[in-house]
Amino acid sequence: MHKPVAHPYRVRARPVHGFTLVELMVTLVLAALLTMIAVPSFTNQLRGWQRDSATKAFTAHVQLARSTSIKTSRRVVMCSSTNGTTCRNSNQWHMGWLVYVDINNSGDLDANDNVLATRGASTGLSTMQTSVGVRQLTFMPNGLMASNATTLSVIPASRTLKMNEVVLNRVGRPYIRSTDQPQKA
Helix or strand or coil: residue 152? strand
Domain regions of the chain by residue span: 22-179
The CB density around residue 139, as the number of other CB atoms within 10 Å, is 27
pLDDT of residue 139: 95
Residues in the chain: 185
CA distance 77 to 75: 7
CATH of 22-179, one of 3.55.40.10, 3.40.50.970, 3.20.20.80, 3.90.79.10: 3.55.40.10
**Tens-place pLDDT, residues 52-108:** 999 999 999 999 999 999 999 999 999 999 998 999 989 999 999 999 999 988 888
pLDDT of residue 35: 84
CA distance 10 to 33: 43
Q: Are 101 and 114 in contact (CB under 8 A)?
A: yes
By C-alpha distance, which of 41, 62, 39 is closest to 154? 62
